Structure 1
Amino acid sequence: MLSPPMPADEPQRLRAVRSLCLLDTPAQERFDRIVRAASHLFRVPIALVTLVDEDRQWFKARQGLAAPQTPRDVSFCGHAILSPASLVVPNALHDPRFHDNPLVLGAPFIRFYAGHPLRASDGSRVGTLCLIDTQPRDFSDADRAALADLAGWVELELNALDEREARTALAQQERFFEVSVDMLCIAATDGTFLRLSKAWSRTLGFTEAELYSTSVVNLALEEDRAATARHLARAAEGASLLHFEHRARCHDGSWRWLQWNAVPDPQMGLLYAVARDVTQARLLEDERQRVERMKNEFISTVSHELRTPLTSIRGSLGLLCGGIAGPLAPSVEQMVTIAHRNSERLLRLINDILDLEKMESGGLELCLASTDIAPLLAQALQAHQGYAAEYGVHLELEVAVDAPHARARVDEDRLGQVLANLLSNAIKFSPQGERVLLCLTREAGALRVEVADRGPGIPEAFQDRVFQKFAQADASDTRKRPGTGLGLSIAHGLVARMGGTLRFTTRAGEGTRFFFDLPECDPTPAPSS
């Protein structure tokens, strides 16, 4: 980590900081309003107005951060005041000045930073208006210009600017409204437009005069006006932020979906807002949902129609394998055995799809009852001994000394389904000769069930998708381990319906541990004598 060096004019700069008479003063709405607007305009979780003192950076206004100050020697703003231009750090982990900074490695886990220096009336750079995100991101030239313009507004508040400087700040505001690709506006709380950016005319096709003669409510389609008016009324009721969407009519008779983020100013009776055209995104989402419904309905219908004949086929093949028709020729027996195994695999897939469809539609009913958990684990382990033997894997059960009779409200069959999925996965991915461990322990008033293997671990690129439908780390046609990619998604949903959350930890080359906690029930009282 590189601590920021001292500016050449440090004594003069510190005098300018203190002459503002703002250090350690209470929050003021005129600054808080700016950081709220900056946070929403740039879509970052944290926005700050900072003053860099002798050994600290102190926050005159902050959005999304609880701490009132941080040490100067670890501050990003200490670097930002060294130049008159904005300091932009797209990814702090890749910047040698900040990659090991405690504010990067720990809270607030800074990844992106953009700060523009703030000047006192004598030109000294006294602090910054800065943006912080926990994710890396790009920052365009237009974004830099917009941040500089907002910083100009902060300077206006910092310095109690004279008339000439005030005209400069207003000119910056005009430029900000001129070049912004977003639809910026200042409106009265009843929705009357007071100031609009050029993007409104470009998006909706109306002239500025036509727009100023209407309002937020009247611009909405008739069926959306009542809801829009209710959202605006929340500003008068004290809401600090407004988020809503409505359809707005265009000059040519078409309409667009507008997504609003607004910051009310109750004292002035104003709304500072940005509206974005999200029509394309809404249409794509509507289409995605329509296709998803069609897909689910199709899969459900086909699965229901296939299950009955497939069950019959599987049963007949099972009887043939069992010798009901007498001994089969070796070649015939091999083909019948393969057909029987494939019919069982296909039936499992159909049952998984139907279970998933029931969960998503809310049609899956669980019979929850207070149940001893240890015996269910023992049964699941015994049921998988043969499968484990095929892979040369040993199964072990460990029950904590204080948990042999612990109880939880579960559906026995569905818990068995969860355990079957976790155990079969652990067995498939364990090297020959290794062990799979099934454990039951008490953890902070809950019962923890855990399945641990010593396999290769889950690839990092796949970890975010482990519980997604049809997700498989190896989705190729030549993968060595069979599976549908539905088991973990179903197990995750079933555990959630029994009051737990299925989670995992994994390390490359050392194995994976899946576990979930179930709320413990009071033990069954002993019968009275």
Structure 2
Amino acid sequence: MIAPMRTYPIPFNEADRLAALRACMARKEKEGAVFDAMAEAARSLLRGGAGLVSLVEEDEQVFTGMVGLDQRATPRNWSFCAHTITTDAPMVVLDTHEDPRFADQYLVRNAPHIRFYAGAPIILASGHRIGSLCVLDWEPREMPAPHEIETLVNLARSAAALFDSPAAAETPQHEADSDLQAEFMALIAHELRTPVAVMYGNARLLETRLPDGLEHRMTRAIRRSCENLTGLINSVINYADASTGELAINTRKMDLPLLLEDIIEAELPVFHANDKDVCLIQSDLEAWVDLDPDHIRIALTNVIENARLHGGSCLTVTVNRDELGHVELRFSDNGQLKDKAAIEKLYQPFRVGENVDTRSVGGLGLGLPLTRKIIELHGGDMGVEAGEFGTSVVLRLPGWRVTEEEPALKLSSG
């Protein structure tokens, strides 16, 4: 039986976000009446059925301010606000029945039968998004006016100001730390871009001069890897928040099997040089998937690289949809992880497939932990299965990311 998947994405900085939330939880009880008034103001503003000040905790959402609803908490799997906290922008769902993220959600299919949602994230002075101020309704709605959304955002800012402790607001240390982190990020970006640009230029020159053959294919792989790395560097700088450790995603519709073929083609010469093989042997995915192209590429590349470094002699990759409609990517090789404890270590940074003192291959062990965070940020999950005849890394992406609509621009594998 296929295990159910969570219905929400996990922010990249989830551990820090939860720590920031717990640090200000004392305000929840102290300012309860004020939060109820904010919930009523939001409901009146959008003429909704319910207004909520929602805090998104690890496994549930708690309503510290509430009007129009009679329960103080729900599982996080039932939460709209768990999606709202993934960006700084407000989220509006005009008709839940038409949104694949929420069409099968429990509170949509069951009482109170939510059909409309509008929420603005509650963003602390630290930059962490701990919840949202939101409005629910039981009928689909038209898009609220811009000034109404702006007022909802301002109300959420007022809620955030209440949650922020006076000491935190008066302490300039965080701003100083943020400035240093931002400066560090800019420095790292420059230091990475320069050598990558040199490698790219030389690889492109060699590619034009070499005849067709193994050396030409390897040079092209280097050139394309430089292009991908440049895109990743730019993506991290553009979408990473140095002050909170957050990483936002910028998604578009993608042909996932084509992306995998592109990655495998670039990796193939290195596999062959190590007397190993990798192939995409099956794909019944005939739809587009809404993904961040830079981050999902690095996630998939990490899994393939991990198999090359620590796996067996043959890696096979399959892409399918399971019986629940989720996308499953399975990376299977004929290597073995005999110790179950080794599986858990693969999820931890700076862990690799062998003892750090005796292993014969390099790497910091950041690949699979980073992959897991990227997949969770997309709303999916990752697992490692060790069996008698091999090891599999299984990535699942939620069905609501799949669409039949073709993108305006298709991925090029050139």
Which TM-score applies when normalising by structure 2? 0.43
Instruction: Specify the structure having the higher radius of gyration (Cα).
Output: 1
Determine which structure has greater relative contact order: mean sequence separation of CA pairs < 8 Å that are 6+ residues apart, divided by chain length. 2
